Structure 1
Amino acid sequence: MFDDQPWGSSSSLNNGWNKDEPLSTLENVWGGSSSTSPPLMSASLNVSNNNTHHSILDMEHSIMQDSRPILNILGNDDNDNNGLYNNTSTSYQNSDNKQSTETTNNGSDSKNNDQESIDIPDIADWAENIRKDYHPLGRDNVVIEQISEREGMLFKHTNYRLTYASITGSQETTIVVRRYSDFVWLQEILIRRYPFRMIPELPPKKIGSQNNDEVFLIKRKKGLSGFINLILKHPILKTDDIVHTFLTLANDITTWRKNTSIPTIEEFQDKVISQSFIHMWKKEFAIQWNEADASIEKMVDIWSKIGALVERQEKRLRQIQNETHSFATLLDELIDYTPKLYNNEQNKGSILDINNHISIVKQNLLENSKIVEEGAENFAINVLPKFQVFIDTLYSLRKLFERYRIMAGNNIAQLHKHIESNKIKMDQEKGKPDTSSAEYDKLHLAIKRDRKEIYLQTNRAWLIRECVLQEFSLFQETQYLISEAFKNWVRIRSNTSGLDLNLWEKLVDNLADMPSRP
């Protein structure tokens, strides 16, 4: 959960994030005794405070309440620039009692200088720059075909032929053969590397006789197509080397996997959060995430039902088309048998006239059947995929939030307690006449290790926050999928209904002089 409550208990900061409050000393920042102690991102499930109650994705403690640069948290005897940021206007001096002194200018001039040295992007420009490379409405670059012949000695499996048109703009096309388990492997690799990205979901894997069911196989093929094409539309995932290998390696990828060492290092490895993002951050972003996560289950439910209704409309059109065609066939038979029951001479040829008009009705039904069939095909090609890709993106965002709750936690609070405990022990050691320098150095080293770990976890927490905001910004682009889906739905329904109505109106006129009782 995301919440912008500060790390610590200072009531002066409980109602917001005071970006202008400076970090006073190194010990206050990293020693845990100050209300501006380093922030903590937690993956807890429930957070309550005086102002808000967020059910999901709250930030239990805000990350970096202060906007000033974090310097070397390992102690001033380490001049290796291990801090998140460097600031030449600030220095810390370390001594045996770990007292640190800040030598920056006091007052608002120092704060203003810090602010002026950082290029803080506008959130709208930042989001637009993120979204410009995400095209969920773009064309699919991979076409998947099911290979009819199944492989396997004991357990048969289905293979799929993937035709990949390169996203680099070249005319190069590659064709590879993959099986369902290969897609599962690709998804697992991507989740390990990009746990806080919108990784698409895979269609379910069924076992036994269900794998032979034609309807199931068609749905699974469509699901696999949606999975790989959404990956190629994502600005980060599409550049991954494993994705490229998956789509271009002509050999059996299962064998390649067994003989290749594939790194699954998280994307944040060796990255440092930019201070410009820290300054850009607003607690309102976390509130928006909370609202999105609280609403996404209901949104998935609503859209799933809408999609089911649209799918039923497509099936109904096909049923109407079949019934209309059967109707026309029966009229043909009717025309053959009516003269046998009605004497032409006795009825003065009226039965022949009636049959001629029935032929007009039959022709109308055949034309109507063709219109409805085309409408059903348009539904399948231009409507259903639009509704499906939107639900797929909803699933991706929902899974991102779920992974956050599982994977984004840290133990910064425990590390601070450990540091405080060791500092107390160090003070006690200094008061003893028989103090062992080895024991003192051991405690000092433990504190440095904990401070370094706090730095690493704090940096990762900020990178996670940035990553989730990037993904949430990308997700905003999917609103146009809603527009596109309904525009296509209305257009096809209108065209089909309009052509159908014209046929029936024309038929009414043609039957006006059909023989009737004088």
Structure 2
Amino acid sequence: MSENSFGAADPLMDKDPWALPATHGIQNLQSSVLEDNNWSSYNSNDILASNFAAMNIDRRQENGSELYHDQSAASSDPLANPESLDAENQEEVDLKEDSVWSEELVSSFNPLGYHNTEDKTIIRVKEIPEKEGLVFKHINYLISHNLRFPPEFYQNDKPAGSETKIIRRYSDFAWLLEVLWRKYPYRLIPELPPKKLLASSTDSIFLQKRRRSLQRFLYQLSKHPILSKENLVIMFLTVPNDFSNWKKFANIELTDEFESIKINLPKRFKMNFDQVLRGLNDQDPDFEEQTQVPEQTVNNDSIVNNITQIWNENPVDHTKLDFMENLQTVNLSLSTFADIWSKLCILVERMEKRELALYQDHQRFSYYLGQFTSNSGNLYGIENMVISEAQPEESQNMSIINTILKQVMKYFTTTKQLKDDELTTLSSDTLENFRKLQDYLASLHFLIERLGNFKNASEKQIHVLLNRIMKTNERLFQIKIKSDIRGSEVDKLVKLLTESVEELNNLLSYIILVKSTFLTEFRLFQKTKYLVSETFQDWFLEKVKYGELQQDSLQRVFNDLQDMPLK
């Protein structure tokens, strides 16, 4: 029995006994996006792992190891007094500005095709027949597009409306994907098709699907409002043919997109240690023991609780702790939706293949009908065996029948050609529209996967930092009780406390940025529902178009058949 995307048997998807008996099985009719209908094997690729090792790129979203970030995210002095009301209001202004920026980003995104967009983007990826390489042959792809970039990205002036043509290898696509993973780990990054199918990469059907998937990869990049403006993406689409040589000598920036972004950490996450630090310096007044719990300690306990709940906080309303619950709901729905859509893609191909089998019988019928008309004269036209006054009329009627039967032959030949044309459009346009949405579903799935990996690793690091901060704070409090202890140990503890709080603030700032970015990307994804509208509109537009042509052909042959003699 067939298995769905997640291993469950699906009796409805068993091999159809009426499917076209082609030389390849049903698995070859599946979309090239979700090979084997499995998230885990989606576009898996050996070259990615090897290139990561060569480039020393840390895929922290997957391995969850060290999460320290060198970005200069603004973190206020952890030892300073709580900020004034004006500073808090300034934070709100910053959040509003970020919200406005996100609105512009979302409004500029349009995932639809050429006829439903204003930019009229055209990207074509064609396979160059001649393979290169001395020992290991590889395929080159000719990429042509009409995207426009600033003049500094071109060696020569580009006339308006002209196309840019470049040559790239599959490994160049893989390199670009690695770079995007490194710089934009929390964006909707499109996935690449696998480099090989099982042990061989020469299967013509696989190579055709891979070429189309590479074309969709570039389309999705060109649609994204952030990734499309990334310099390395632009260079990939503009550098002349020797791209491998360019990569060797180019000064490639691989820093995280958040490295230069500064945010004001909300007050609810800022811990204050004035109470424990007061009096540790010589110029500070002597510490007097207090039997009551300092008010600041109570405040820090509340802040620690806020910090531990940072992943549950809703990015829109931090008073609601439903972010992870909502994310889990989305992820479960995404898995179900992707599985259903994958089956729809398979069934569209299967239905059309079945229709093709029917129309191949039209062609066979036309052939044998031609054989019938060629041999009918031997049976009905031997005049010396039948002598009748009506013989001339009988011969004429047989001629009329054969003439009209030739129109029937033409009808069946025409309908077969129309179906071939319709299936060509289906393969190049309609099914590609189905797979566009499938690509976005896969992008969201792997984005959520990277987000989940980062969440798990960051929560562990938050736990480690909070423990270190609390223990250091407790140690300093004990030192204050023992007034004879001063000097280097105090300096070390103060430095450790300061650095730990700063590292925690940087991590919290990064988490806020990641969640905000994910929210923006998820809002971009919401627009992909219009791909459903476009897909079905275009599909049935073609069905109506070719249905009318088929109907016209049928009406003509029907009218001709009325002239066939009955006596």
Asked whether the two chains share a fold, i.e. TM above 0.5, the reply is yes
Partner of 1:328: 366
Question: In 2 relative to 1, CA 512–122 (structure 1 residues): closer, same or farther, beyond 3 Å?
Answer: farther
Q: TM-score with structure 2 length normalisation?
A: 0.67
Q: Does 1:204 align with 2:199?
A: no
Deviation string 1:92-116 (CA, Å, 9 cap, x unpaired) is 2xxxxxxxxx5857xxxx99x9499
| 2:255 aligned partner | 265
Code of the residue aligned with 1:456 in structure 2: it is N
Deviation at 1:405, TM superposition (A): 1.4
Q: Does 1:402 align with 2:449?
A: yes
Compared with structure 1, are the counterparts of its residues 104 and 235 closer, same or farther at alpha carbon in structure 2 (3 Å cutoff)? closer
Amino acid paired to 2:163: T
1:427 aligns with 2:427: no
**Per-residue CA distance 1:144-180 (angstroms, 9 max, x = gap):** 1111011111111111111132234943432221111
- 453, 456, 468: which one aligns with 2:503: 453
Partner deviation per Cα, 1:168-209 (whole Å, 9 max, x = no partner): 494343222111111111000001100000110111111687
Q: 1:489 aligns with which of 505, 524, 539?
A: 539
> 8 Å contact 2:75–2:265 — kept in the other structure?
no
Checking the alignment, whether the CA contact within 8 Å between 1:314 and 1:380 is kept in structure 2 is no
Q: Deviations over 1:56-105 (max 9, x none)?
A: xxxxxxxxxxxxxx9734213xxxxxxxxxxxxxxx2xxxxxxxxx5857
CA distance in 2, matches of 1:117, 1:204: 45
Alpha-carbon distance in 2 for matches of 1:302, 1:174: 38
Q: Are 1:132 and 2:132 counterparts?
A: no
Distance 1:234 1:116 in 2: 28
Q: For the residues of structure 1 that align with 2:130 and 2:556, how far apart are their CA atoms?
A: 50
Read off the aligned partner of 1:293 and give its amino acid letter: N
Give the drift of 1:249.
1.2
Separation in 2, partners of 1:116, 1:420:
27
| Kept in 1: contact 2:111–2:220 (CA 8 A) | yes
Confirm or deny that 1:376 pairs with 2:426: no
Match of 2:182 among 172, 184, 192: 192
Write the distance in 2 (CA, Å) between the matches of 1:115 and 1:174.
Answer: 46
Seen in structure 2, the aligned counterparts of structure 1 residues 285 and 132 have a Cα distance that, compared at 3 Å, is farther
Greater relative contact order (Cα < 8 A, sep 6+) = 2
Instruction: Specify whether residues 239 and 314 from structure 1 end up closer, same or farther in structure 2 by C-alpha distance, changes over 3 A only.
Output: same
Corresponding residue of 2:306: none
Distance of aligned partners of 1:285 and 1:490 in 2 relative to their CA distance in 1, 3 Å threshold: farther
Give the counterpart of 2:348 among 310, 329, 342.
310
How many angstroms apart in 2 are the aligned matches of 1:401 and 1:383?
28
User: 2:347 & 2:147 partners in 1: Cα distance?
Assistant: 35
- The residue number in structure 1 matching 2:379 is 341
Alpha-carbon distance in structure 2 between the residues aligned to 1:166 and 1:491 = 28
Where 1:167 maps in the other structure, the secondary structure is: coil
Per-residue deviation, 1:504? 2.9
1:105-129 residue CA offsets vs partner (Å, 9 max, x unmatched)? 7xxxx99x94997376599977642
For residues 446-498 of structure 1, the C-alpha deviation after alignment (integer angstroms, 9 at most, x for no partner) is: 00001101110010000001100110011111111000001111222223233
1:150 maps to what in 2?
131
Quick one: distance in 2 between partners of 1:300 and 1:278? 26
Is the CA contact 1:198–1:400 (under 8 Å) kept in the aligned structure 2? yes
Following superposition, the deviation at residue 261 of structure 1 comes to 4.2
How many angstroms apart in 1 are the aligned matches of 2:193 and 2:180?
Answer: 16
- Contact map agreement 1:143 1:225 (CA 8 A) in 2: yes
Are residues 365 and 274 of structure 1, via their aligned partners in 2, closer, same or farther at CA, if it must alter by over 3 Å?
farther
Query: Which letter maps to 1:455?
Result: N
1:217 corresponds to 2:207: yes
Q: Is the 8 A contact 1:138 1:233 kept in 2?
A: no
TM-score, with length taken from structure 1: 0.73
Cα distance change, pair 173–491 in 1 and its aligned pair in 2 (3 A): closer
Q: How far apart are the structure 2 equivalents of 1:431 and 1:125?
A: 51
Q: 1:416 to 1:226 in 2, by over 3 A?
A: same
> What is the SS of the residue equivalent to 1:210?
coil
Q: Is the 8 A contact 1:296 1:398 kept in 2?
A: yes
2:53 matched to which residue of 1? none
1:368 counterpart letter in structure 2: T
Deviations 1:268-287 (A, max 9, x none): 11212368999844646655
Counterpart in the other structure of 2:463: 413
Distance 2:500 2:454 in 1: 20
- Report the counterpart of residue 5 of structure 1 in structure 2: none
| Amino acid of the structure 2 residue aligned with 1:341 | L
Partner SS for 1:131: helix
Bigger helix share: 2
When residues 438 and 115 of structure 1 are mapped into structure 2, their CA distance, relative to the original with a 3 A threshold, is: closer
Asked if residue 75 in structure 1 is aligned to residue 79 in structure 2, the reply is yes
Q: Is the 8 A contact 1:361 1:507 kept in 2?
A: yes
Aligned length: 421
Shift of 1:333: 2.2
CA displacement, residues 346-398 of structure 1 (integer Å, 9 cap, x when unaligned): 47224333312311211222332232233223323331121111111111111
Equivalent residues in 2 for 1:433-444 (5 A)?
Answer: 434-444=484-494
Instruction: Give the residue type in structure 1 aligned to 2:139.
Output: T
- Identity within the alignment, %: 30
Q: What residue in structure 2 maps to residue 61 of structure 1?
A: none
Unaligned runs of 5+ in 2: 1-60, 63-73, 115-120, 151-159, 267-312
Greater mean alpha carbon deviation, residues 279-288 or residues 379-388 = 279-288
Cα deviation 1:213-247 (Å, max 9, x = unaligned): 21111111001111111101100001111111111
The letter for the 2-side match of 1:428 is Q
- 1:37 matched to which residue of 2? none
Contact 2:362-2:416 within 8 A present in 1 as well: yes
Q: Contact 2:363/2:416 (CA < 8 Å) preserved in 1?
A: yes
- CA distance in 2: counterparts of 1:73 and 1:204, whole angstroms: 48
Task: Provide the aligned C-alpha RMSD in A.
Answer: 3.2
Is 1:388–2:435 an aligned residue pair?
yes
Match of 2:163 in 1: 173
| Cα distance change of structure 1 residues 287 and 273 upon mapping to structure 2, 3 Å threshold | farther
